[in-house]
Amino acid sequence: MIELFIAFGAGLISFLSPCVLPLIPGYISYISGSSLNELIEKKSVNIFPIILFTLGFSLVFISFGATASFLGSVILNNSYELRIASGIIIIIFSLHILGIINLNFLNYEKRIYTEKKSGIFSSILVGMAFGFGWTPCIGPILGSILALASTEQSLNRGILLLIFYSLGLAIPFILSGYLIQKFLVFSKNLKSKMNIILKSGGALLLITGILMITNQLQALGFYLLKYIPVLQNIG
């Protein structure tokens, strides 16, 4: 249960990452086919293409989760080793986010350039292209959730984790397009706090990795269910 909240929170942190948040106006302008000035004058935009765009990158991330979960189920007989390895991977990624270590291959973003085309499928395809393009930049966060997905005992649970991760990234993305003016003010005010937010996310992932290695992550989930029974209705 706690894993779903971690995944959703990781999606929110990914949205606030330097390769996503500062470029949101450009993404929305590209998807909607309107200039930034036109978007500001309209005060809101047609969110349908934006929803399709988020569906595109969500499909990419969910497919990653399905693959990680499948590979994890194949080696389920070595579940102890898998849990330890996944915990170590999450800790390494968290230390990179915290700035304690530097993994150079995660310090870049693959830019995807596509021609502007209208239509349902083109919006989804562009979203998928950007999903692959973002992967190196949000790799430490996404990789941690994929490591978590690999320890799930069923394929459906692994997919569900990445659905929650995608929702954490997609919901604020859609709201940003719908409330573009307020988003511009919000992002400007948040810019100075972005480093603190990312470091907080890194700390959360570090704790998650430690809990996995010590096999206490499920115990934390049971503890939350005991005192917050309504959580049983989720996942």
Average pLDDT over residues 70-79: 65
User: What confidence score (pLDDT) does residue 96 get?
Assistant: 80
* pTM higher than the cut 0.85: no
User: Regarding predicted confidence, which is higher, 124 or 32?
Assistant: 124
Give alpha helix (H) positions in the chain. Answer: 2-15, 24-32, 36-42, 48-74, 79-98, 120-134, 139-150, 155-178, 180-190, 194-213, 217-227
Average pLDDT over residues 29-46: 68
- Domain with 95, as residue range(s), is 2-233
User: What confidence score (pLDDT) does residue 224 get?
Assistant: 47
**Residue 217 pLDDT level (bands cut at 50, 70, 90):** low
Q: State how many domains the chain has.
A: 1
**Residue 81 pLDDT level (bands cut at 50, 70, 90):** confident
Burial string for 129-142 (b: 16+ CB within 10 Å, else e) reads bbbebbbbbbbbbb
CA-CA distance, 175 to 179, in Å (whole number)? 6
Among 52-66, 130-144, 196-210, the range of highest mean pLDDT? 52-66
| Mean of pLDDT over the chain | 75
